[in-house]
Structure 1
Amino acid sequence: MILSPLKIFPSAGHNNKDSGAVKNGYREADLTKEARNNIARRSKAEDLIMDEDWETNSQYQSRIKPGKGSVLLDIHFNSAASLASGTECYITATDFNNKNSLSYKMADEICKITAKVLRIPNRGVKSDNLSQHSRIGILHLGAGVSVLWEICFISNSKDMNSYQANKEELMKKVAEILKKYDERIL
Structure 2
Amino acid sequence: MRSIFVSAGHSNTDPGAVAFGRREADIAVEFRNMVAFYLQRAGVPHELDGNGTTNLPLREAVVRAKRHPLGVEFHCNAAAAATATGVETLSAPKDMALGAEICKAVAQALGLRNRGAKPENAGQHHRLAFVQAGGIIVELFFITNAADLAAYDARKWVAARDVAAVLTQAAKA
Question: Normalising by the residue count of structure 1, what TM-score does the alignment of the two structures yield?
Answer: 0.84
* Separation in structure 2 between the aligned mates of residue 10 and residue 124 of structure 1, nearest angstrom: 20
Which sections of structure 1, spanning at least 5 residues, go unmatched? Answer: 96-100
* Separation in structure 2 between the aligned mates of residue 137 and residue 114 of structure 1, nearest angstrom: 23
Specify the alignment match of 1:89 in structure 2. 89
Partner SS, residue 169 of structure 1: helix
Over residues 56-95 of structure 1, what are the superposed CA-to-partner deviations in whole Å (9 max), with x where a residue is unaligned?
101222344324xx21011000000211111111112xx1
Q: How much is the aligned-residue C-alpha RMSD, in angstroms?
A: 1.7
1:125 Cα deviation from its structure 2 partner:
1.1
* Separation in structure 2 between the aligned mates of residue 56 and residue 123 of structure 1, nearest angstrom: 27
Which sections of structure 2, spanning at least 5 residues, go unmatched? Answer: none
* Separation in structure 2 between the aligned mates of residue 157 and residue 64 of structure 1, nearest angstrom: 32
Asked if 1 retains the 8 angstrom alpha-carbon contact of 2:15 and 2:23, the reply is yes
Specify the alignment match of 2:63 in structure 1. 62
Larger radius of gyration: 1
Specify the alignment match of 2:100 in structure 1. 108
* Separation in structure 2 between the aligned mates of residue 46 and residue 91 of structure 1, nearest angstrom: 22
Asked if 1 retains the 8 angstrom alpha-carbon contact of 2:8 and 2:55, the reply is no
- Residue type of the partner of 1:110? I
After superposition, residues 37-186 of structure 1 pair within 5 angstroms as 37-44=33-40, 47-52=45-50, 53-67=54-68, 70-80=69-79, 81-92=81-92, 95=93, 101=94, 103-141=95-133, 143=134, 146-184=135-173
Match for 2:10 among 7, 10, 14? 14
Over residues 87-137 of structure 1, what are the superposed CA-to-partner deviations in whole Å (9 max), with x where a residue is unaligned?
111112xx1xxxxx4x11111111112111211111111111122111111
1:46 Cα deviation from its structure 2 partner:
6.7
Partner SS, residue 127 of structure 2: coil
Distance 1:170-1:54 versus aligned 2 partners, 3 A rule: closer
* Separation in structure 1 between the aligned mates of residue 123 and residue 151 of structure 2, nearest angstrom: 25
Q: Mean Cα displacement is larger for which, 119-128 or 39-48?
A: 39-48
Specify the alignment match of 1:98 in structure 2. none
Specify the alignment match of 2:28 in structure 1. 32
Distance 1:20-1:117 versus aligned 2 partners, 3 A rule: same
Asked if 1 retains the 8 angstrom alpha-carbon contact of 2:44 and 2:171, the reply is no
* Separation in structure 2 between the aligned mates of residue 171 and residue 124 of structure 1, nearest angstrom: 18
